[in-house]
Structures are given as structure tokens and as C-alpha cells.
Amino acid sequence: MGESTLFLRTTRLPALTITMVLTLAACGSGPKLEIPTPGEEAYTSLEPLAIHAVSTEEFVITGSLTRTDGTPEGLILSTHTGGRTWRRLAVEVHDLTRTTFQTVFFADRLRGWVGGVRVDSQGRARSVLFRTEDAGNHWSEVGLVQDPEATVSEVHSLDFTSDSVGSVSVTLHDPTTSETRETTFATGDGGRSWVVAAYREKATLPFRDQTSSMVDRERGFRLRKSRYPGVTLVEATISEGRDWMPVSELSIGALATYY
């Protein structure tokens, strides 16, 4: 692998001359842009929390990494090979520091949403929601109305019943009253915008389990802690959940292969 320097044409502006120099790392006969990837030594743990399967080959996992200083960093992993290979999404563009993704839903292989909790600069836990329309190659953050008097402990039950109609729930803790309440947001435009559908209600239903996801009645996937520390198994079933077989192992040791 060598290095070549490409000089672009100089553009002259009033009182200013801009010369752009682009350095590319050449590989073979064509240039290749190289993006540095963080090493596993920057983290202490990897925690997958939710999984959503689009097909037996395509599914997405969300959770967090823990940095050496104890700070969480949002994690989105995608596979198109049934768990044989993985790709980490969103981190090259978005600052996912102090973020934990707790819920995920994909309507198909292209359109998806992830939600979780992010601690802001003032130390307040706030809900966060991202959406993609191109299988995770690009993500945009979607605004949710924040409760100024409460902190967010969990974002969960992200679900769509059609191409346009969906909902997500946020569990809130009020430090003044010590009460735990739940606010539900709804969308009617495919997740581009969200409005409050139920505000600070008492939670009556258990959270939808996001550690497993079925493709159809017989086939699906689940997350399970391995007996080895720091390793999470991705397991598959073809028997309606009666039997499970490991298809992948997720750990800090394999982090470099996710880029």
C-alpha cells in the first residue's frame, strides 16, 4: 500500500486563495479512503441489550460499549450474513458518547429506528431516538419532547404497526416525588416526527422483551449471556423457540472486526 497526493484546482476568491490538497491511501490501482478504528483497549465491556430480526440473514443489535473511564458509548451492530460477520453503524458520523441504545425496530432491511438514553452535559439522562432509511448507512436524530423535571431510566417498546404508525415508551423517574412514570410517544409519518400520546402514566404492562426477535412463527434469534465473562451469544431457533443454537459470539475481543 502506498500513498499518493491529489492536488485539486485552485479556486480564487476575493482576497482569498483556497488550495485543496487531498491525501489518499492508494490500494491496488485505485484510491481508498481509510478511517481509523478504535482499538479494543479503549473499552472494558460490550453490552448487547436488544435485537430485531428482519430475516434469517439480516438483523440488528443495539446496546453500549463501556469506555475505560466508565463512560457508555452507543452501539449498533448489523449483520447481513446471519451473524457470521458484523458491522458497527453510526459511530463514524455521530457522537455516541454517554449513550446507551436500549430498543430497536426495523420495518424492513432499509428502514429502522433505535432508541435509548443519553446523559447530557449537565448530567441529566434524556431520551434519544435515531432513524435510518438506507440500512444504517446514514442516521438522523429525531427529536422527542423532554420532561424537564424528570430523568429517563429507559426507552423501550419501540414498535411499528404499519409503514407510518408507530410508538415508543419512555420510563421517567421524578426525583422530587420518587415516582416512576411512563410517557408514550406516537408517530403517524413513519417516525419523522413524534408527539406525546400518553403523559406520565402509571406503567401497567411489562416491557416488550427485546432480547429475542422472531422472523416468523418458527425461526428467530435471541441474546444470551455466555458462561465466559464479557461474551454474549447470539442464538437461533427453527423450532418456535424450543431449541436454540449459537450462531455468533459478541465481545470486546472481536471489536476490530466490526468496522
Tens-binned pLDDT, residue by residue, of the chain (259 aa): 444 443 334 344 444 333 333 333 444 445 444 445 666 789 999 999 999 999 999 999 999 999 999 999 999 999 999 999 999 999 888 899 999 999 999 999 999 999 999 999 989 999 999 999 999 999 999 989 998 889 999 999 999 999 999 999 999 998 888 889 999 999 999 999 999 999 999 877 667 789 999 999 999 999 999 999 999 999 999 999 999 999 999 999 999 899 8
CA gap 249, 247 in Å, rounded: 7
pTM (2 decimals)? 0.83
Cβ atoms of 180 and 153 closer than 8 Å: yes
What are 15's three cell numbers?
482576497
CA gap 92, 80 in Å, rounded: 20
Any idea which residue has 452501539 for its cell?
A: 75
Which residues, in sequence order, are bridge partners of residue 75?
63
Collapsing DSSP to helix, strand or coil, 19 comes out as coil
The predicted pLDDT at position 193 comes to 94
The predicted pLDDT at position 208 comes to 72
Residue 237, by phi and psi: left (phi above 0), alpha (psi -120 to 50) or beta?
beta
CA gap 124, 102 in Å, rounded: 17
The predicted pLDDT at position 60 comes to 98
Tabulate helix, strand, coil % of the chain (nearest 5).
5, 55, 45
Nearest residue to 111 (alpha-carbon basis) of 162, 65, 74: 162
The predicted pLDDT at position 92 comes to 81
